[in-house]
Chains A and B, each alone.
Chain A
Amino acid sequence: MVHYTNTRLDASFAALSDVTRRGVLEQLGRSEFSITDLAAKFDMTLTGMKKHVDVLEYAGLVTTEKIGRVRTCKLGPRRLEEEVAWIGKYRELWAARFDELDKVVGELQRKERTNARKKGR
C-alpha cells in the first residue's frame, strides 16, 4: 500500500494540537508580531517560540518575513475549514464514481469467468 503521510493537512492538525501554537494563531489573527514579541507574550525563550513558529509555518498556517534582524510573523494563506470542505467535496465525487466503477469491474469479471468456463468445456 502507498501511504501519503506527512501531508499538508496532517501538518495542519499536528500544528493545531498544541495549546501555545493555537494561542499564537489567535494572536496573529489580531496583528503581526515578531518572534521576540510572541516569546514575551507566552513567557517563553526565543528558541522555544521559534520552534513553534517553524511548525506553524511548515503547515502553511503562518508565514514569516525577515527584515533586518527581526522575523515578523503573520497568518498564512491556508484556511483550515476551506481545506477540509474542498477535500470532502472532492472525495464525495470520487467515492461516488469508484463505487460505480466497482459495479462495472464486477460485471467484467463475471463475464470473464463465464467465458473461461465455456472455453474449458
Chain B
Amino acid sequence: MKNITTVEKKSDREVIVTRTFNAPARVVFEAWTRPELMQRWWVPKSMNMSLLSCEMDVRVGGKYRFVFGEGMEFFGRYTEVVPNSRIVWTNDEGGEEAASITTVTFEEKDGKTLLVMSELYPSKEALDASGGAADATHETFTQLDELLVELGGSAEGEDVGC
C-alpha cells in the first residue's frame, strides 16, 4: 500500500511535505544523493518533460544542475549535507528574488523513514508563482500508472546513465 503524501503551508512562504518510506534512512538518503537514482523519480513521466542531463555534487558547497529539453533547467548549491539525516540546497534558477531553500530531513523509526521536506521562499509572491512546475503534472497525471508498471518491470536493473 502506498504511504500518504501530505502538503501543508506553514506560512505564506513555506511549504512542508511529509511522507513515510518503508525503508531505513540510509536507503532513502541514497536515492536523494545519487544522480542516476534521483533522476528516476524526480521527473515523473506525468510531467511530460525529458531530462537531458543531471549533475549532482552532493557535499557542502557542491553544485547541482538538472537540464531539461527546451532550455529549462534547475540548478543551485548544497549548503548542508548530513549523511542519512539532512540535506539543504538552494534553488537558484529563478534569480535572487525567487530563490528558495529546500530542506529535507530523514528520520528513521522502526526501520521506516519519515521524510520531511520544507521549501522556504523569499516571499509570498515567489511561493505563489512556483505553482508553475506543478501545473505540468495536472493534466497528464494518468500517465503515472504506466510508468509504475514500466519501472516495476525493469527492477534490479543496473544504474542508468545520466
Contacts and interface: CB of A to CB of B under 8 A. Distances in A.
B106 to A, nearest CB: 11
B114 interface: yes
A87 B114 CA distance: 20
A2 interface: yes
B2 A8 contact: no
A83 B11 CA distance: 12
Interface in B1-47: 2-3, 5-12, 15-19, 21-23, 27-28, 30-31, 37, 40-42, 44, 46-47
B141 A92 contact: yes
B131 A103 contact: no
Contact of A108 (B3, B10, B23, B117): B23
Interface in A77-121: 83, 86-87, 89-112
Given A96-B44, A97-B41, A103 B19 contact: no
Contacts, number: 116
Nearest to B18: A2
Interface residues of B, number: 48
Given A2-B116, A96-B137, A104-B37, A89 B131 contact: yes
A97 B136 CA distance: 13
Contacts of A98: 3, 5, 19, 21, 41, 115
Given A94-B19, A110-B156, A111-B156, 7 more contacts: A4-B18, A86-B131, A91-B5, A93-B44, A101-B28, A102-B2, A104-B31
A7 interface: yes
Nearest to B135: A89
A110 B156 CA distance: 8
A44 interface: no
Q: Which among A95, A104, A109 has the greatest number of chain B C-beta atoms within 10 A? A: A104
Contacts of B16: 4
Contacts of B82: none
A83 B18 CA distance: 18
